[in-house]
Amino acid sequence: MSKFKTHYICTECGYESPRWLGRCPDCESWNTLVEERLPDKKGPLRSRYVDPAFWGRDSDTPIPIGKVGLSEEMRRSTGIREFDRVLGGGLVDGSLVLVGGEPGIGKSTLILQAAYQVARTGATVLYVSGEESLSQIRMRAERINAIDDNLLVMSEPSLDPLREHISAAPPSLLVIDSIQTLYDPHISSAPGSVSQVREVTSQLLQMCKQRGIAAFIIGHVTKSGAIAGPRVLEHMVDTVVYFEGDRNHAYRVLRAVKNRFGSTNEVGIFEMGEHGLVGVDDASALFLSNDTQSVPGSAITASIEGNRPILVEMQALVIGSGFGTPRRTVTGVDYNRTAIILAVLEKRAGLCFENHDVYVSVAGGVRIPEPASDLAIALALASSFKNRPVIQGTVAIGEVGLAGELRAVSRPELRIAEASRMGFTRILVPTRNAERITSKPQPEIELVPVSSIEEALLVGVEG
Ligand code: TYD
Ligand code: MG
């Protein structure tokens, strides 16, 4: 028997179990439970995460809600418009922001850019990296032109020197890159384990809340179960943003999944360039390629990311397959939805995909989970199947139901306006939407109401 008491803990969601399980009963991930030593129980048990000290002294006696003082939240701009937007208008002093994402996606780059912009306004920023050496950080800073005297860097994985430094000279903004490399030497678990990342975050939380320091905490999302993911920290911090994208494409999407100081509807769109990340104002222009629109198998839809409409191109390739089960390869859209669309096309429109391989993707590598893109996927599939292009200048929006009916989508006006802005003149919309559109679109826009998938194929794909 081992000398220490241990338990098993899920690196995805933090679920604890006295014995090992193959699948976490809470978040249903496979193979994510790892053995960890139980924290030593010295002194009275207390919640490690909630310490009344940092919520202010007046919180121990109940008072009428109307008497609670209102404190104006101080927001700092990160100097990056897309980032400020996701944060809800800037970084709130004393708030902790968790920045999650896969390794190599650009988290360090984004946060270093923001750190520099804050430092430039005269505020002190402390960038702590447990991951890279000081010269590596310097090299990145040179590349993105982020050199400022107020931007202090420290390469130190242990929490003790950091704690001392923060008490001696508290910065306005603290950056931890990454939480999985920082460790508290008083805890026996390995850096990156669930107990370590939680304990370190809880201590950072106390340090920052007491002194009103804002903090960016970077957390890697990894596929291997050995390192605790940022999800186990989501409940402790004020704001959680995830940086997503395909590493082989330049574009990145920053999404808020939790925000105590703003909405979670906003997304930021960035492009990774030679000198760091640049916010993208005109996302539709980024994702549309002009040269494939007249080719069979391509259809444009207007999707909504956060609060913003984006035009994207759905691409499909349908070709005769050899022996065996035909292939279904889908990237960027939901696999199951595509399977449903194929089945509906087969049943309602008489297109038989039985002996065909089917490939579906979204141009530019974006991920479009929205069902409003169903109709464009259907048109792209039918277009490739028939080898006839979708009628030029057409944008298709609509969700496909199992009976082949087209269901209404949310915010049709916003989508139509974006399509018109990008020069499209013909828009297929579900009849349900068309009936209810109150604001008249521009005169050059032709709204084509469609109620079923058969109808949409007739008016959408060249005969
Ligand atoms: P990085 O910020 O180190 O990612 P993370 O912290 O999420 O692991 O950035 C990773 C990639 O970005 C790296 O492959 C190089 C690329 N990159 C650029 O293309 N342009 C740049 O200006 C910088 C700084 C990085
Ligand atoms: Mg990094």
Give the start-to-end residue ranges of the domains of the chain.
Answer: 6-37, 46-60+73-281, 285-460
pLDDT of the residue at 5: 79
CA distance 131 to 153: 12
**Residue 224: pLDDT band by 50, 70, 90 thresholds?**
low
Q: Taking all residues of the chain, what is their mean pLDDT, rounded to a whole number?
A: 88
Topology of domain 285-460, per CATH? Ribosomal Protein S5; domain 2 (3.30.230)
Packing angle of the helix pair 194-211, 159-168 (nearest 10 deg): 0
pLDDT beyond 90 at 369: no
Q: Which atom of ligand 1 is nearest to the CA of 107?
A: 7
Q: Which CATH number fits domain 46-60+73-281: 3.20.20.80, 2.40.50.140, 1.20.120.420, 3.40.50.300?
A: 3.40.50.300
Beta-bridge mates of residue 299: 314
Q: Which atom of ligand 1 is nearest to the CA of 140?
A: 24
**Residue 39: pLDDT band by 50, 70, 90 thresholds?**
low
Give the residue-averaged pLDDT of 432-438.
87
Q: Which residues contact 58 (CB under 8 A, 6 or more apart)?
A: none
Do the beta carbons of residue 12 and residue 27 sit within 8 Å? Answer: yes
Q: Could you give the dihedral angle defined by the CA atoms of residues 132, 138, 143 and 144, in that order, rounded to the nearest 10 degrees? A: 90
Give the residue-averaged pLDDT of 31-52.
61
pLDDT beyond 90 at 42: no
DSSP annotation of 377 reads H
pLDDT of the residue at 263: 83
pLDDT beyond 80 at 425: yes
Tally the residues of the chain: 463
CA distance 459 to 463: 9
CA of 179 to the centre of ligand 2 (A): 11
Lowest mean pLDDT among 68-72, 182-186, 394-398: 68-72
CA distance 300 to 316: 12
pLDDT beyond 50 at 45: no
**CA 257 to chain CA centroid, nearest Å:** 7
| Ligand 1 mutation pick, 272, 275, 278, max ligand atoms within 8 A of CB | 272
DSSP annotation of 145 reads T
Do the beta carbons of residue 302 and residue 309 sit within 8 Å? Answer: yes
Q: Could you give the dihedral angle defined by the CA atoms of residues 86, 91, 94 and 95, in that order, rounded to the nearest 10 degrees? A: 10
**Side-by-side strand order, sheet with 394-396:** 328-331, 356-362, 308-320, 298-305, 394-396, 426-430, 446-450
| Ligand 1 mutation pick, 109, 138, 217, 271, max ligand atoms within 8 A of CB | 109
Q: Which atom of ligand 1 is nearest to the CA of 105?
A: 7
pLDDT beyond 50 at 47: no
What φ, ψ does residue 435 adopt, rounded to 5°?
-60, -35
Most confident of 127-136, 357-366, 430-439: 127-136
Q: Which residue has the higher pLDDT, 387 or 367?
A: 387
pLDDT beyond 50 at 218: yes
Give the residue-averaged pLDDT of 249-275.
88
Structure tokens at 415: 């989508």
CA distance 318 to 235: 45
pLDDT beyond 50 at 49: no
CA of 348 to the centre of ligand 2 (A): 50
pLDDT beyond 60 at 54: no
User: Which ligand places an atom closest to the C-alpha of 113?
Assistant: 1
CA distance 44 to 42: 7
pLDDT beyond 70 at 211: yes
Q: Which atom of ligand 1 is nearest to the CA of 275?
A: 22
User: Which ligand places an atom closest to the C-alpha of 111?
Assistant: 1
pLDDT beyond 50 at 315: yes
Q: Where are the beta strands (DSSP E) in 260-385?
A: 267-273, 276-279, 298-305, 308-320, 328-331, 356-362
pLDDT of the residue at 62: 85
Angle at 197 between CA 196 and CA 198, to 5 degrees: 90
CA of 79 to the centre of ligand 1 (A): 19
Give the residue-averaged pLDDT of 393-400.
95
pTM for the whole thing?
0.79
Give the residue-averaged pLDDT of 225-232.
74
Ligand 2 (ion): residues with CB under 5 Å are: 108
Q: Which residues contact 59 (CB under 8 A, 6 or more apart)?
A: 52
Alpha helices, H only, 5-144: 81-87, 107-120, 134-143
CA distance 193 to 6: 13
**Residue 43: pLDDT band by 50, 70, 90 thresholds?**
very low
What φ, ψ does residue 79 adopt, rounded to 5°?
75, 0
Q: Which residues contact 296 (CB under 8 A, 6 or more apart)?
A: 383, 384, 386, 387, 388, 389, 390
Do the beta carbons of residue 79 and residue 251 sit within 8 Å? Answer: no
> What percentage of the chain has pLDDT greater than the value 70?
92
Do the beta carbons of residue 150 and residue 120 sit within 8 Å? Answer: yes
Q: Which atom of ligand 1 is nearest to the CA of 101?
A: 7
Peptide bond preceding 178 in cis form (omega within 30 of 0) = yes
Q: Which residue has the higher pLDDT, 220 or 2?
A: 220
pLDDT tens sequence across 436-457:
887 777 788 899 999 999 999 9
CA distance 79 to 110: 11
Enumerate residues lining ligand 1, CB below 6 A: 101, 103-109, 140, 143-144, 272, 274-276
Instruction: Output the residue whose Cα is nearest ligand 1's atom 21.
Output: 276
pLDDT of the residue at 40: 60
pLDDT of the residue at 208: 93
What φ, ψ does residue 206 adopt, rounded to 5°?
-65, -50
What φ, ψ does residue 130 adopt, rounded to 5°?
-100, 5
Lowest mean pLDDT among 219-228, 298-307, 446-455: 219-228
On the question of a common fold for 46-60+73-281 and 285-460, the answer reads no
pLDDT beyond 50 at 423: yes
CA distance 37 to 25: 21
Structure tokens at 295: 């080719």
Lowest mean pLDDT among 29-33, 129-133, 161-165, 424-428: 29-33
pLDDT of the residue at 44: 44
